[in-house]
Structure 1
């Protein structure tokens, strides 16, 4: 148990590789991300489904210039992300969402690599996707070609698993032994990110003692979690609010 988010992330240093749970702004470890932003850690390499929005989630670290490289599947909600990427300030590896999820899970399961059909006969497998641009707009670093192999009558591409130095996750409920329960769709990338971290830090809304959570209700066992901090209810933001007009509501 840690008394604060700041204490829990205090040893995250320059160049750390960090897996971060959440999807969009759903289930993100916002208190832990803010705590990292309050440190001086820079040159971070982040693995996450996306990079938050300009003023929330991982977008905070991005706007501070703390992130060197991002591996993600979707980045469309962050204008600063696009600016840094296109200007050559940020290295970006885009990967299919299911592949990213499996790369995280495989890392936690001790599997070094796996074959998948996703991305075969596309630049994902053939290489050439811009990872980093130069300041003049030319491609400085491009993705390399990946090994492919035929199983049966279908071709597959080899993807390497992800193992991070730290993982930051959010759970609705947790105990002091690290057993976690996630809320509905927040059980997306959180368990996978947690598995991929050598040191996994969980912020929990409600903290209980070991034995108070029904074992059958545990989504992620405490063996994958090294640090727990009680942060209380999360400030749940809506990424995009869409409202019907009065006329639409009458139809």
Structure 2
């Protein structure tokens, strides 16, 4: 498994936000992370990426106990787009490229991949919400990562942008990468995910193939059934 999170816990003060999260992601597969607001999706991703320390359980990456060195093989976009408004899109990506040690060719390739090629030399402060989301995606793809982690990648995108992100995620998986993404758009999870993990009140309430969660194809009904009565406290 590329990702293994076993009974992971995390608290903020006296509040237990994660209290038994199990999450796995297979190599070359797309895993969708679902859950109501406050279920712990973003906290789970932050723990996975080492931005927060778990207060229980185990986290493994690429078949080994979590080590910071593993992050060299990970591309991520969490907590919304992070950029310098006074710099152009190209300059923002180039700055991150230097940090991860990749050349200028990778900058242009990443911008074209997410559909920002024509706007690459505009200041990022003038970007729309959707363009900022694309910029964050471009940065996540630098360094040709084996694992791509995306937190609500469709936020702020128009229907054509949502479709492009969907196609990008599929292409990443076809190329052998592992993708983990959180989303509140059930239709998008149904369209691209191989596996699904559902969280509710800081616990995993389902983990497995999408076909096992919704064998009849009705993901909405299945989702509300497994999360019913488990609102965040």
TM-score, normalised to structure 2, is 0.33
TM-score, normalised to structure 1, is 0.32
Q: Which has the larger radius of gyration?
A: 1
Which of 1 and 2 has higher RCO (CA within 8 Å, sep 6+)?
2
Q: Determine which structure has the larger helix proportion and give its number.
A: 2
